[in-house]
């Protein structure tokens, strides 16, 4: 995995735009972390940390975080009407992520010393990325800063959850649950939703007036969700019903043209519709778990993370990759299959949870759902890595 970094973007297309190296790293990490997790969960690999901790950290900070930075380093200068980020600035962050990712994956298998060092490198990259976005936020002259404020807050909360994870993993394990709750609801969900509610109505020509109170209400409920889970696991079901209702009502207000003939739009619309479904499913499954102690195998988290965040990631990731490479913004047959495949990933993971709840042996479904995830990223990579690395023109 040796890469030669170049300061001159003309001599190295791959590093000439920030989304390119970050997307490639995120998607490679998506495949490797899932493979390692699958083998560890089945007892084939002995990890230096628990498989579930490895899975949570790998997906949140090795896959989603670099993918978010890929997107934000490209779009945040536009959101804030500031200068594009310089090559050496984003390469500094990328280098930390690249080295941290290799060390973390090696460390998980070889020695915890490596993974401890890796987490500090990845945290430093995360922190540096936040500072770059913060600088743009502070220097912008734009009057409406609402969206960029919430994006930056979500990044900061992601940084806080990252720090909690490191403390939990190295020193004080009881903090792990809080770290994961904050990372899912106040980082991954909040950040993705903030970007989505800004971009998707715009792409869909749905010119609805902005709901100014929405974020304060949603953020307050998300914080309440995290607090309740901190006191009694599965007790957040009342808050989740409220979130499902409020966000579902907001989506209906947008009047998105769904079903849409354009795959570049319907994949984003489907992702948005998963939000109310995810919160209502979470409420029902958590209530059932409280009453009956049936284990739904993290159904609540997976419907939200796969249905919404992962589907948006593939939709936006594809859009940015095509749009910034001089290719026509259209979905060919391959892209349509990839977009449909995202929903196969979601549905198979939901089935795995139901199999667990019904007391069946869910391991076969677990293997299939993990394989379907890896296949998704492998197929995406086969289609788009040449575009990201060499600027290939799609025909």
Sign of the alpha-carbon dihedral angle for 179, 185, 188, 194: negative
Q: What is the pLDDT of residue 258?
A: 83
Q: What is the pLDDT of residue 6?
A: 42
Domains of the chain and CATH, by start:
13-390 (1.20.210.10)
* 2-30 tens-digit pLDDT: 444 444 444 588 898 999 999 999 999 99
Q: What is the pLDDT of residue 299?
A: 95
Per-residue b/e over 123-152, b at no fewer than 16 CB within 10 Å? bebbbbbbebbeebbeebeeeeeebbebbb
Q: What is the pLDDT of residue 2?
A: 43
pTM over the 0.85 mark: yes
Q: What is the pLDDT of residue 307?
A: 97
User: Which tokens in the block code for residue 149?
Assistant: 């404020």
10-residue mean pLDDT series, the chain (395 residues) = 45 87 96 94 86 94 97 92 92 96 88 84 97 93 88 97 95 93 97 95 88 94 95 91 97 90 94 97 95 93 97 96 90 94 97 93 93 97 94 84
Q: What is the pLDDT of residue 11?
A: 57
Sign of the alpha-carbon dihedral angle for 200, 370, 41, 299: positive
């Amino acid at each position: 995995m040796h890469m030669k970094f170049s300061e001159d973007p003309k001599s190295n297309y791959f590093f000439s735009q920030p989304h390119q190296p970050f997307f490639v790293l995120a998607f490679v990490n998506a495949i490797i972390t899932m493979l390692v997790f699958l083998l560890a969960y089945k007892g084939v690999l002995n990890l230096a940390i628990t498989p579930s901790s490895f899975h949570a950290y790998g997906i949140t900070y090795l896959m989603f975080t670099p993918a978010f930075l890929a997107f934000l380093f490209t779009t945040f200068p536009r959101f804030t009407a500031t200068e594009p980020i310089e090559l050496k600035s984003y390469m500094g962050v990328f280098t930390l992520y690249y080295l941290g990712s290799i060390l973390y994956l090696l460390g998980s298998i070889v020695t915890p010393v490596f993974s401890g060092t890796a987490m500090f490198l990845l945290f430093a990259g995360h922190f540096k990325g936040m500072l770059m976005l913060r600088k743009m936020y502070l220097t912008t002259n734009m009057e409406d800063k609402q969206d960029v404020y919430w994006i930056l807050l979500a990044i900061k909360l992601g940084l806080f959850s990252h720090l909690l994870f490191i403390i939990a993993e190295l020193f004080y394990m009881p903090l792990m649950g809080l770290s994961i709750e904050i990372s899912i609801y106040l980082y991954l969900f909040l950040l993705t939703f903030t970007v989505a509610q800004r971009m998707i109505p715009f792409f869909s020509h749905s010119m609805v007036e902005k709901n100014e109170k929405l974020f304060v209400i949603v953020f307050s409920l998300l914080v309440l969700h995290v607090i309740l889970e901190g006191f009694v696991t599965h007790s957040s079901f009342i808050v989740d019903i409220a979130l499902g209702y409020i966000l579902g009502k907001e989506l209906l207000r947008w009047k998105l043209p769904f079903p849409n003939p354009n795959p570049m739009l319907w994949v984003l619309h489907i992702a948005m519709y998963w939000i109310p479904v995810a919160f209502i499913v979470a409420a029902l499954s958590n209530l059932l778990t409280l009453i009956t102690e049936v284990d739904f195998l993290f159904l609540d988290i997976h419907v939200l993370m796969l249905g919404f965040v992962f589907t948006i990631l593939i939709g936006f990731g594809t859009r940015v990759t095509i749009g910034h490479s001089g290719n026509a913004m259209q979905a060919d047959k391959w892209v349509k299959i990839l977009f449909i495949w995202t929903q196969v990933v979601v549905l198979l993971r939901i089935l795995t949870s139901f199999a667990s709840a019904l007391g069946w042996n869910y391991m076969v479904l677990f293997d299939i759902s993990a394989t379907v995830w890896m296949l998704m990223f492998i197929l995406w990579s086969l289609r788009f890595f040449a575009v990201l690395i060499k600027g290939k023109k799609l025909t």
